[in-house]
């Protein structure tokens, strides 16, 4: 079994933002030369998340709006006494900071409208994305 690691960064511009990173992830999988296996996408951040969803601008805004409804900023969270971003931590924990995708014939297996999206929950910030590809 082979293992390939690569990282990249994304600079976000807003507090809540959805950014497509599909092309970058797929280029790393291609560079790995792994034909069949798994691709782990991991964010080492407690206030960001990663999802697999359609990268249509209206839907991306709907995702941001829905997160705000579920985890409203400024609500009376106990953690806000420390640094006023409990909503971002809660959203990140529920959505998740990682995804695992199958790789077949050197490509991520995904549906026609599925793209890899970084969900910024407490920006603007620089976010590290760690990609680990393993297989044969």
pTM of this structure: 0.95
Report CA Rg, the chain: 16
Half-sphere exposure of 64 (CA within 13 A, CB side): 19
Range of the domain at 114: 2-135
Per the structure, the count of domains in the chain is: 1
**H or E stretch including 38?**
strand 37-42
CA-CA distance, 50 to 19, in Å (whole number)?
10
**CATH code (residue 6):** 2.60.120.460
What is the per-residue pLDDT across 43-86, written as a single tens digit (0 to 9) for each?
Answer: 999 999 999 999 999 999 999 999 999 999 988 999 988 889 99
Both tokens of 100, joined, read: 């695992």
């Amino acid at each position: 079994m082979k293992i390939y690691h690569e990282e990249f960064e994304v600079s976000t511009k807003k507090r809540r933002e959805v950014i497509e990173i599909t092309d970058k992830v797929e280029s790393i999988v291609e560079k790995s030369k792994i034909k069949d296996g798994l691709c782990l996408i991991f964010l080492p951040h407690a206030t960001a998340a990663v999802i697999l969803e359609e990268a249509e601008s209206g839907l991306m805004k709907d995702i941001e709006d829905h997160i705000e409804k579920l985890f409203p900023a400024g609500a009376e969270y106990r953690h806000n006494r420390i640094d006023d971003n409990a909503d971002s931590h809660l959203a990140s924990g529920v959505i998740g900071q990682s995804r695992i995708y199958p790789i077949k014939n050197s490509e991520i297996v995904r549906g026609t409208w599925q793209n890899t999206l970084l969900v910024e929950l407490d920006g603007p910030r620089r976010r590290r994305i760690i990609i680990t590809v393993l297989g044969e």
